[in-house]
Amino acid sequence: MIAQILSIAVLSAMLYMLVALGFTLVFGVMRIVNFAHGEFLMLGAYALFLFNRELGLPFALALPLAALVVGVIGVIAERLIFKRYADDELGGMIVSLALAISLQGAVVAFFGVDELAVDRPVSGALRVGGILVPKDQLLASGVALVLVLAVYLLLQRTSFGLAMRAVAQDRAVARLQGIKPHRIYPIVFGLSCALAGAAGALIAPLYTIEPFMGEAPLMKAFIVVVLGGLGSVPGAMLAAGLLGFVEAVISVAAGSTAATLVQFGAVLLLLLVRPAGLMGRA
């Protein structure tokens, strides 16, 4: 039982990392709390549906196309809406809520409110010792882990990643070094939305697709980001692992409702003891 719980925790943590990573990137670089992040995840699921079910593309091709389309939409949203709200946390939060409602309404108008589904790319389960691991969840978690590691390497090993971290740490000093934040913002926002779109495309075969499916992942991402520290990528990764473990244990022991209560209770307790989060800056 312990081994099975740990496997569930690891699989959940990988997806939480992917969803939270884009959320914390935008806050860290642009200081915008993007409450439309869940709707970009939802757009990724619908994009996968169009590419996979309607156009007949294989999942391996539909997945990156869905992420790319959502990333392009994110760049457009940043240029048209969010670029004037960089460093304006309240204004950015309000406009992101408005965008979230607008995207939900647009999807309802175009697709309706009925739930949609796509075929699972793989079926069956792997037995490792005494642990059963569904192949579709293993695939989704593995792709999520690869994407998280790719973004981590981008941040740590490339000049663009160094520029992103410089802008996040001290915008004035970054400008003195020749870095132009206004050129960084659309790429960061587009990358954030592409990660959300990829998460939605990975989740789509596991669950049904509907216009409000982004709300629950957004709350999970928000919990992860607050626990890890707003703007801290390592903190978000650590918090995703902790959240996945706690959720798996409490869900098995007392049900999903109790797990949700424990998660939000942990956020409240941590904010009282350490307002900046596990690895955040005061």
**Domain ranges, ordered by start, for the chain:** 2-211
C-alpha of 256 from chain center: 21
pLDDT, one tens digit per residue, over 169-221 is: 888 888 888 889 889 999 999 999 999 999 999 999 988 999 999 988 888 88
Residue 268: what pLDDT? 82
Which of 95-104, 207-216, 243-252 comes out lowest in average pLDDT? 243-252
At 108 the three-state DSSP class reads helix
Query: Is the pLDDT at 145 greater than 70, yes or no?
Result: yes
CB neighbour list of residue 275: distance below 8 Å, 6 or more residues apart: 282
Beta bridge partners, 126, equal 133
Where is pLDDT greater, at 253 or 189?
A: 189
* Contact (CB, 8 A) for 89 and 35: no
* Contact (CB, 8 A) for 144 and 16: no
Residue 276: what pLDDT? 78
Query: Is the pLDDT at 52 greater than 90, yes or no?
Result: yes
**In whole numbers, what is the pLDDT of the chain averaged over residues?**
88
* Contact (CB, 8 A) for 18 and 175: no
Residue 281: what pLDDT? 65
- Can you tell me the mean pLDDT for 143-169? 92
Query: Is the pLDDT at 14 greater than 90, yes or no?
Result: no
Where is pLDDT greater, at 169 or 110?
A: 110
**Model confidence at 4, in pLDDT bands (50, 70, 90)?**
low
- Can you tell me the mean pLDDT for 148-175? 90
- Can you tell me the mean pLDDT for 16-28? 89
Percentage of residues of the chain with pLDDT beyond 90:
45
Which of 62-66, 87-91, 107-111, 149-153 comes out lowest in average pLDDT? 87-91
Q: Residue 112 and residue 54: Cα distance in Å, rounded?
A: 16
Q: Residue 228 and residue 237: Cα distance in Å, rounded?
A: 7
Query: Is the pLDDT at 109 greater than 90, yes or no?
Result: yes
Where is pLDDT greater, at 10 or 123?
A: 123
CB-neighbour burial class of residue 252 (10 A; exposed 0-12, middle 13-18, buried 19+)? middle
Q: Residue 221 and residue 193: Cα distance in Å, rounded?
A: 13
28-to-54, 152, 165, 208, 233 alpha-carbon distances in Å: 37, 14, 8, 32, 8
Q: Residue 136 and residue 114: Cα distance in Å, rounded?
A: 24
